[in-house]
C-alpha cells in the first residue's frame, strides 16, 4: 500500500513537471510574437466570458418549485377576483 502511494505521488510530480515545462515553452513562444498585447486582450476576454458562464451555471439557483406554484395560485386568485 505504501509503495502504491509513493508511485502515485511520483507519477503526479512527473506529470506536474512535464505540464509546467510544456506551459513554459508555450509562454516563451507567445512572448516572441509581435501581437502579444492583442493576444493577451483576447485571452482576457475569453476568460471573462468563461467566468460568466460558470457563474451563471452554478451561482444562481433556480427558483423554488413551491414558490412558482404559490405565485401561479396568487395570479389565478387575483384573476378570479376581477
Query: What does pTM read for this prediction?
Result: 0.39
* Distance in angstroms (rounded) separating the CA atoms of residues 17 and 33: 25
pLDDT of residue 72: 94
What local confidence, expressed as pLDDT, does residue 1 receive? 65
Which cell numbers hold the place of 45? 476576454
Sorted by sequence, the CB contacts under 8 Å of residue 33 that are 6+ apart come out as: 39
**Region 35-55: what's the mean pLDDT?**
84
pLDDT at 70 over 90: yes
Average pLDDT over all residues of the chain: 84
Cα–chain-centroid distance for residue 37? 24
pLDDT at 56 over 90: no
Could you tell me where the DSSP H helices lie in the chain?
A: 2-31, 36-58, 65-81
Amino acid at each position: 500500500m505504501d509503495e502504491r502511494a509513493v508511485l502515485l505521488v511520483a507519477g503526479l510530480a512527473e506529470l506536474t513537471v512535464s505540464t509546467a515545462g510544456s506551459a513554459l515553452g508555450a509562454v516563451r513562444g507567445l512572448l516572441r510574437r509581435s501581437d502579444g498585447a492583442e493576444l493577451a486582450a483576447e485571452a482576457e476576454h475569453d476568460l471573462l466570458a468563461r467566468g460568466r458562464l460558470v457563474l451563471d451555471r452554478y451561482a444562481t439557483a433556480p427558483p423554488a418549485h413551491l414558490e412558482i406554484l404559490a405565485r401561479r395560485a396568487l395570479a389565478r386568485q387575483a384573476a378570479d377576483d376581477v
